[in-house]
Copies of this chain bind each other. A is one copy, B any other.
Amino acid sequence: MRPLFHPAIEDVRPEAILHALADPSRAAIFAKIMQAGCVEACSAVSAVGDRVIPKSSLSNHFKVLREAGLIRSERHGVEVRNHSRWMEVEARFPGLLAGIINAYASDEGSHSHAAETP
């Protein structure tokens, strides 16, 4: 099995980050990895919101996040642990991730999933 390629932080491109986080599922996965003490196994994210994500799609989502430079994945026995690269990315593109994560967070609050004030 191939040894999980990660770009150097200098090679990380803004368009790759935006493309990766333009998908709400991936943005939610990334937010979860950051909040969950910066480590998360792939299988810990089997659904986003109420939507179940198939394994193959999930594998691809992690790959996109990894190759965008947003997470670092290490095989640890049978599972893969994912660390956010927040600090590196923050040093290279200050304010970018905070702006994006806050935007999704404030958007989630603004339209509830069910009816809220009928």
Residues on A facing B (Cβ under 8 Å): 10, 13-15, 17-19, 21-24, 27, 92-100, 102-104, 106-107, 110
Contacts and interface: CB of A to CB of B under 8 A. Distances in A.
A98 B102 CA distance: 13
A27 B15 CA distance: 9
Most chain B beta-carbon neighbours within 10 Å: one of A13, A23, A27: A13
Contact of A18 (B13, B22, B95): B22
A73 B77 CA distance: 55
22 contacts: A14-B27, A14-B107, A15-B22, A15-B24, A15-B27, A18-B18, A18-B19, A18-B21, A18-B22, A19-B19, A19-B22, A93-B99, A95-B95, A95-B99, A95-B102, A96-B100, A96-B102, A96-B103, A97-B99, A98-B99, A99-B99, A99-B100
